[in-house]
A and B are shown apart, each in its own frame.
Chain A
């Protein structure tokens, strides 16, 4: 079981990372979503896997033996909810961005940078901005 989860996690992580590094902004967001799923799998696996044993501490014991720990499952649930909200936001944002800016290439998104032709020295007031 744990090896199957580990393999699935590895595939998800690798795919997510590959897509997140893409220049295409939509792919980038999908990649981040996949990365989030991979982390959720990791959290789930961190609490022990095993369907048979109920999560009950036996009489005379202090800690849960063998059975899966329910707390990481609660943590994963929280993380899924938060991740879902963020993904909704991210998808809407990317759609708006592509529609308004007219490109989905991350390298073409330079709206927050000063223009490349902006002269650095001396200031505009003395040379009128002619030097590149």
Chain B
């Protein structure tokens, strides 16, 4: 029964292996991949139903007693994130079935996508610090494979930049994990939480600093975000959406899990530093986005700025801050991935990702314009979409604690986000296409986008549903937050 906790890791891993062996038979490979993604989604739904009822489900491997064996444990926080991960997998694989992305598929594409999903789900479900490092490595190697898979010169360049900074981050993470083990004698979260109270605070803070820097690099926080805009825009659309939705959020989750939960009494001292890092991340990300003209670059910088919001919620801490962080993460993963998918559709129809070279889509494809408006306005935080509630929760937590400057910065960044989204709207949809005739006539390219529409409309519907009935998710997030930091 409790072995099913491992399903979110085992199913994608098995799918990755099966799809790796069937690379020469594309139809069979696609069928296996779709079946694996749906099984993952079903398992995640079942697990979320379990954790919503019982609080947490876990398993210790090899029947080792509590602090010794490697443990998997899903509580409400990780359960919700595993479910969103499975959802991303389904949406992205569905999108791949369309012709929105013209790049030829590689036989290793699907195995690596499922490998990434396994790494992300593993990082969310584990209750062991060293195991967390291993899952980060699984994600890293799969991500590197996916970046370099296309083999274009700019993709190799992107893979090198991604490799350099992220490898440094994992090494730092490994060092921090090893030294935390030396100081406490434990790796299990529960045992670490107890043992850390007996450690000399000065030593513990030095170790937590190394851990935090490594995890913040993984989450693309200021000033360690340079790898993200340098690598993401070179990716094919579905992979880009998967990375944008999931990878950096694992870093943020790990920050929340360690500083906000496992090392809680000591972790609370970090809120001041973390808050300023978050504020700088928000501002730097949104300013970077304002500069660029490539939709993918604009959206990549917005990942950074939104990471700032989630980190701000983590830094504010307490039940309200942590609930806001979970709500914001769920909202952000869905909206961000959707925006990248829609950007892929825009490029497929208009011929380019460069906003200066495209236009006229509001007239040619009004439904796409409407579809784009849902996640774009949700990202800005316009009611009644999910982003409004996410930002409201963060701002409430900020003002409750008297952090008026951080709150004001968050509001300012929202305005600048609106500017970027308006830029995409005006350039890609509103202005006539540069190649249009004098009478404004212009025909978008032909592409079979059926599955892409299904994926993006589905994600937009989830955004709308969260926005119209936020109570369910807010209540769930508050219950999840209530158990954090009480080990």
Contact = CB atoms under 8 A, between A and B. Distances in A.
A72 B357 CA distance: 56
Interface string B131-170: 0001001001100110010010110111111011001100
A14 interface: no
Given A46-B178, A75-B178, A124 B160 contact: no
Contacts of A114: 292-294, 297
B427 to A, nearest CB: 7
A1 interface: no
Given A32-B171, A39-B175, 11 more contacts: A20-B164, A43-B175, A46-B182, A93-B160, A93-B163, A96-B151, A109-B157, A111-B157, A112-B233, A120-B293, A124-B356
Given A96-B156, A100-B156, A112-B233, A90 B141 contact: no
A75 B130 contact: yes
Contact of B178 (A29, A39, A111): A39
Nearest to B431: A125
- A contacts with B: majority SS: helix
A78 B145 CA distance: 20
Contacts of A82: 134, 137
Interface of A: 20, 25, 28-29, 32, 35-36, 39, 42-43, 46-47, 71-72, 75, 78-79, 82, 85-86, 89-90, 93-94, 96-97, 100-101, 109, 111-114, 118, 120, 123-125, 129
Contacts of A75: 130, 178, 181
Determine which residue in A25, A36, A100, A111 has the highest number of CB atoms from chain B within 10 A of its CB, and name it: A111
A89 B141 contact: yes
12 contacts: A32-B164, A35-B168, A39-B174, A43-B178, A46-B179, A78-B130, A79-B174, A101-B153, A109-B161, A112-B154, A114-B294, A123-B427
B136 to A, nearest CB: 10
Interface of B: 130, 134, 137, 140-141, 144-145, 148, 151, 153-154, 156-161, 163-164, 167-168, 171, 174-175, 178-179, 181-182, 230-231, 233-234, 291-294, 297, 355-357, 359, 427, 431, 434
| Cβ-closest 9 pairs across A and B | A46-B182, A124-B356, A43-B178, A111-B154, A111-B157, A123-B356, A97-B156, A82-B137, A39-B175
Nearest to A118: B293
B122 to A, nearest CB: 14
B470 to A, nearest CB: 38
Contacts of A124: 356-357, 434
B182 A72 contact: yes
Contacts of B130: 75, 78
Most chain A CB inside 10 Å of its own CB: which residue of B157, B175, B291: B157
Contacts of A96: 148, 151, 156
Contacts of A72: 178, 181-182
A71 B186 CA distance: 10
A29 B158 CA distance: 15
Contacts of A123: 293, 355-356, 427
A99 B467 CA distance: 50
B163 A90 contact: yes
Contact of A112 (B140, B164, B231, B357): B231
Contacts of A89: 141, 144-145, 163
A34 B163 CA distance: 15
Nearest to A100: B153
B355 A28 contact: no
A42 B178 contact: yes
A20 B157 contact: no
Chain B CB within 10 Å, residue with most, of A71, A93, A118: A93
A112 B155 CA distance: 8
A57 to B, nearest CB: 13
A97 B160 CA distance: 8
Contacts of B137: 82, 86
A100 B152 CA distance: 9
Contacts of A47: 181-182
Contact of A43 (B154, B163, B174): B174
Contacts of A86: 137, 140-141, 163, 167
A36 B151 CA distance: 27
Contacts of A46: 178-179, 181-182
B153 A111 contact: yes
A129 B431 CA distance: 17
A94 B175 contact: no
B358 to A, nearest CB: 10
A122 B161 CA distance: 30
Contacts of B434: 124-125
